[in-house]
Amino acid sequence: MTIYHNPRCKKSKETLQLLRDNGIEPEIIEYLNTPPDKETLKELLTKLDMNTKAIIRKQEKEFKDHYKGKDLSEEDYLDAITIHPGLPERPIVVDDDKAVIKRPPENVQELLA
């Protein structure tokens, strides 16, 4: 299991602790320090069964400053995330061919079942 983690995010910390409480020590990717490339993002989106626009945090300053009100393509959103890795909802937990955005962290139960 892998978690795309932000150690400063309360929900991300709660999700990591929930995994550990269930005996799982996931691979931790601090995505702000090691942002996923476009191919990895595409793989994550396939596992999430979502498009890029659906995972964007539209309240983020970077989104408001650079992208709000623009008609962006899927490729544009991918580019935005590679430039501003804090834009996606978080955390994202991946287990093999399935991934889930864990807001709230209790949703991780889907992958633990």
Residue 110 CB-half CA count within 13 A? 15
37 is catalytic: no
The string of pLDDT tens digits covering residues 79-104 is 999 999 999 999 999 999 999 997 66
Written as tens digits, the pLDDT of the chain (113 aa) is 999 999 999 889 999 999 999 999 999 999 999 999 999 999 999 999 999 999 999 999 999 999 999 999 999 999 999 999 999 999 999 999 999 997 666 677 778 87
Choose, from 9, 24, 28, 32, the residue flagged as catalytic: 9
Domain of 60, CATH number, reads 3.40.30.10
pLDDT of residue 111: 80
- The parent domain of residue 6 ranges over 2-112
Query: Residues 60-88, buried b or exposed e (16+ Cβ, 10 A)?
Result: bebbeeebeeeeeeeeebbbbbeebbbbb
Residue 30 CB-half CA count within 13 A? 7
| Domain count along the chain | 1
